[in-house]
Chains A and B, each alone.
Chain A
Amino acid sequence: MRMRRLAAGSLAAGALAGLVLAIAARAAELVPLPPQPAGVPYPTQAWPEAAPGAGVDAGRLNAAFKSAFTAKGRGGVPDTRALVVVHHGAIVAERYAPGFGPQSRFQSWSMAKSITQALIGILAREGRLDVNAPAPVPAWRAPGDPRGELTLDQLLHMSSGLANADGGLGTDTFVTRLLFGEGSRDVFAYASEVPLIHPPGSFWDYSTATSMILAGVVGRTVGGGREGMLAFMRGKLFGPLGMRSAVPEFDAAGTFMGGAFVWASARDWARFGLLFLRDGVWDSARVLPVGWVDYARTPAPAPNNGVYGAQLWLNLEPKQDQFKPLPGGPASAISVNGNDGQMVVIVPTHDLVVVRLGAMQASTWPSVTGDVAAAVAAFPPLVAQE
């Protein structure tokens, strides 16, 4: 145990140094995040709406929208139920499947992970959490427990080394037990009371449970149980952004189900995307700390990762068993993804946010990302670098 702890400690230090180096190395590569255009209000109250401006290929945009609503699932309902494009801070294209509209709330699935990430960022800005410090998880605090070294940074990077990865697509997997089975009554305990199977920081593995741990840490830092967490989320994130439709869901123990369960309208998901596009600043007030979005869009340093940042996806080169979130799209794109083709795609080089929500009954990930990439391709890049 002591050997493992020492090994874990030195590896954690190594990973931290690696992180600093990785950020330094990539800082030069990160394309700038575009500012809100002068005269365009933030959509805290209502979304500004505009016609697609000069340089936008309207025919291509229409074709992408038409294609997105072609695949129809059970009951003849299009799989794409909401598609919204925000360009230069204004909605320039928006369409819903029959039975859905701007007021409809849609399920996040894993897009909730990025909400949880933003909540960690807010607490980091307030000095209430340090992402490079060991994560305050009660189950790991016994002396000599190797998990006691695990940092929030490693959790945010899906590189904890814990035996709690989602575990494939079957019916009875870690993630289905966590969300709907024996783990669902207390997700924080179920997610965290597992052994390490890799040294912390050394191995990337997608884990909804890890996001539940992060959500549990936020809840315990904020205090006040379910109501305290709800008040924090509304006061610090949903309220300032005007995400009035957002509904976070909880387990019976009062932990925010931050790995999978937030509901919000397409327009509110677009507000969340715009926060990242604007570097965490909203209408002259800073929501996320300085450098947080750059941290989020820098790949996790684990050697088997190419496309995952801090609780969101990057359109870079995937390693084995990973996938590129937006094939054919700009490398600068950041993607907030969820099961069944939920996507909030943020494209700094084009000053764009594209939101696609719905089902995946007749469509596939390649068809969904193909439609989103086609919509992005209708817009001109800000600078000729991609």
Chain B
Amino acid sequence: MRTPRAKTLALLALGALLAAAVFARVRLVPQADIGAGFVAKQVCSCVFVGGRDEQACRLDLGPDLAPVRSEQLADGVHAWVPLLASRTARFREGTGCTLD
């Protein structure tokens, strides 16, 4: 049997979870989406159009973007923030990189 105190605690926890979810949706997801888009596009263009290696391209973006992970593909770059956002930029000869 739940005591009233346990009920209050459960409600508080649920409220905190909801608040966190709303915060994530409203604040974190757009930021993560922009971050993933930025890393995917910048690294794709830097590698495929600028002709530099991926590591040098990531270094240029700086430590603030460390939470955004990226992986070079055969024809582009995929970047993501776990659980929040994911973008891919694809390279085409002549027109560089395009975000999906």
Contact = CB atoms under 8 A, between A and B. Distances in A.
Contacts of B97: 249
B96 A180 contact: no
B74 to A, nearest CB: 19
B56 A75 contact: yes
A176 B32 CA distance: 12
A107 B95 contact: no
A249 B95 contact: yes
Interface string A223-249: 000100010000000000000000111
A261 B41 CA distance: 10
Interface centre among B38, B51, B94, B98 (most CB of A within 10 A): B98
Nearest to A247: B96
Nearest to A103: B51
Given A74-B62, A181-B37, A359-B60, A172 B96 contact: no
A361 B59 CA distance: 11
A105 interface: yes
A250 interface: yes
A99 B50 contact: no
19 contacts: A74-B62, A77-B56, A103-B51, A107-B46, A179-B38, A180-B37, A180-B38, A180-B99, A181-B30, A182-B33, A247-B94, A247-B96, A248-B95, A250-B96, A252-B99, A261-B45, A263-B96, A359-B60, A361-B60
B98 A249 contact: yes
A171 B39 CA distance: 13
A184 interface: yes
Contacts of B25: none
Contacts, number: 83
B34 A185 contact: no
A74 B87 CA distance: 25
B76 interface: no
A180 B43 CA distance: 12
B51 A104 contact: yes
A182 B29 CA distance: 11
A75 B57 CA distance: 11
Name the interface size band of chain B: 20 to 34
Given A249-B97, A250-B95, A180 B60 contact: no
Contacts of B59: 74-75
Interface of A: 73-75, 77, 99, 103-107, 171-172, 176-177, 179-182, 184-185, 226, 230, 247-252, 261, 263, 359, 361
Nearest to A256: B95
B98 A252 contact: yes
Contacts of B60: 73-74, 359, 361
Nearest to B93: A247
Contacts of A359: 60
A184 B85 CA distance: 14
A176 B49 contact: no
A263 B45 CA distance: 9
Contact of B96 (A73, A185, A261): A261
B34 A104 contact: no
Nearest to A100: B52
Contacts of B100: 185, 252
A105 B50 CA distance: 5
A181 B30 CA distance: 7
B28 to A, nearest CB: 10
A107 B45 contact: yes
Interface centre among A106, A251, A263 (most CB of B within 10 A): A263
Nearest to A226: B95
Given A74-B62, A249-B95, A182 B30 contact: yes
A375 to B, nearest CB: 24
Given A171-B35, A176-B38, 20 more contacts: A73-B60, A77-B56, A99-B56, A171-B34, A176-B34, A177-B30, A177-B34, A179-B41, A180-B33, A180-B35, A181-B37, A185-B100, A230-B94, A230-B95, A248-B95, A250-B95, A250-B98, A251-B98, A252-B99, A263-B96
